[in-house]
């Protein structure tokens, strides 16, 4: 892909290369098509993904496979209650040179990578979880009075188990807000489960090929940001997020009834960028209303907080968000008249 190519050519090349990565992942991962799309959307938007699901559903396998398909540095951090921030970021060590002089030297931790798997992130203490904040938002690490830039692209994929809650520390809102998407990994269906059994119990080994490197990923990330977001679609995205704010002027009835806090501006940014990826995959260079609606759930489900009544009635964030999406019109009535 070169800057001299037309917009149509660049969009077509993006879709072709995206599908190549998707298909290569599919050689190892059975089913979970929407999850694969969600992870790749995060990657090409420069965001991070949080995968939540029961044990054994292939969350870690998906992330490891992605690291094999992409020619990027990969590291895995197993989050446990005794993990310390220095175990993630690194620490200063005393080193001695040939003349016997001693000095401090910063030993980089596993976060200095390009794809970082934060496995079972909610098992670490809040102090350790917070060590990831600067890296995820600013793409840099401050330690020992020095600031180090992380190599781009930098992509964090975290997993958490919603079942075993003993000994876990729920991620604070500030941490959740830094994840581009929260993806819910569900159980496989009958057909997919039979395919999993066929692949994993007969000694068949599949090694995915390297498809894309960091330079190409950065070029695609730049292309995504160049996709046109028309003012009326941008306003729809803004109103969609404002509709999640209980008590606000544009609040939807479902938000007033079931939410304590609505989504942050990052939610609107996430919808806008993810919708641009959807547009490119559809062969368009401009975002539609439907593109925004299709990415709203993974973009907002971890950015809204249910009130006590909703939790007592076992209402899920997705249920509330679906009602909000139905409530928000594409164009306001007074604007139609004008």
Residue ranges of domains in the chain, CATH in brackets:
227-338 (1.10.8.80)
Tens digit of each residue's pLDDT (9 = 90 or more) over 211-230: 888 889 999 999 999 999 99
What is the C-alpha to C-alpha distance for residues 240 and 237, in angstroms, rounded to an integer? 5
Q: Are 36 and 29 in contact (CB under 8 A)?
A: yes
Task: Report pLDDT for 166.
Answer: 62
Quickly tell me which residue has 């809204």 as its tokens.
Answer: 304
The DSSP call for residue 3 is T
- Which of 9-13, 124-128, 142-146, 193-197 bottoms out in mean pLDDT, i.e. has the lowest? 142-146
Handedness of CA 208, 210, 214, 217 (dihedral sign): negative
Record the pTM: 0.87
Task: Report pLDDT for 316.
Answer: 92
Tens digit of each residue's pLDDT (9 = 90 or more) over 162-182: 766 666 778 888 888 899 999
Quickly tell me which residue has 């292939």 as its tokens.
Answer: 58
Residue 337 has pLDDT above 50, yes or no: no
């Amino acid at each position: 892909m070169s800057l001299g190519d037309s917009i149509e050519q660049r969009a077509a090349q993006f879709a072709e290369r995206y599908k190549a990565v998707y298909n290569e992942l599919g050689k190892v991962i059975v089913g979970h098509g929407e999850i694969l799309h969600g992870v790749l959307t995060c990657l090409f938007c420069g965001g991070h993904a949080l995968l939540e699901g029961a044990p054994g559903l292939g969350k870690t396998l998906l992330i490891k496979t992605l690291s094999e398909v992409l020619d990027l540095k990969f590291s895995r951090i197993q989050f446990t209650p005794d993990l310390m921030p220095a175990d993630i970021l690194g620490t200063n060590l005393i080193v001695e040179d040939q003349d016997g002089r001693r000095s401090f030297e910063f030993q980089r931790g596993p976060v200095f990578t390009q794809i970082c798997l934060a496995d079972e992130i909610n098992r670490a203490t809040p102090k350790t979880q917070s060590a990831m904040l600067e890296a995820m938002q600013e793409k840099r690490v401050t330690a020992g009075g020095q600031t180090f830039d992380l190599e781009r692209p930098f992509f964090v994929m975290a997993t958490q188990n919603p079942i075993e809650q003993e000994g876990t520390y729920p991620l604070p809102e500030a941490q959740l807000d830094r994840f581009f998407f929260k993806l819910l990994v569900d159980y496989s269906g009958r057909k997919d489960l039979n395919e999993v059994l066929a692949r994993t119990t007969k000694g068949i080994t599949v090694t995915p090929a390297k498809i894309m490197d960091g330079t190409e990923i950065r070029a695609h990330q730049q292309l995504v940001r160049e996709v046109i977001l028309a003012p009326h679609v941008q306003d729809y995205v803004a109103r969609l997020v404002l509709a999640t704010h209980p008590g606000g002027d544009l609040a939807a009835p479902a938000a007033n009834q079931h939410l304590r806090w609505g989504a942050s501006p990052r939610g609107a940014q996430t919808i806008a960028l993810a919708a641009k990826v959807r547009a490119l995959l559809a062969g368009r260079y401009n975002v539609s209303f439907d593109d925004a609606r299709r990415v709203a759930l993974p973009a907002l489900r971890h950015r809204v907080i249910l009130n006590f009544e909703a939790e007592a009635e076992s209402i899920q964030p997705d249920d509330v968000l679906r009602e909000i999406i139905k409530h928000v019109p594409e164009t306001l009535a007074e604007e139609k008249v004008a």
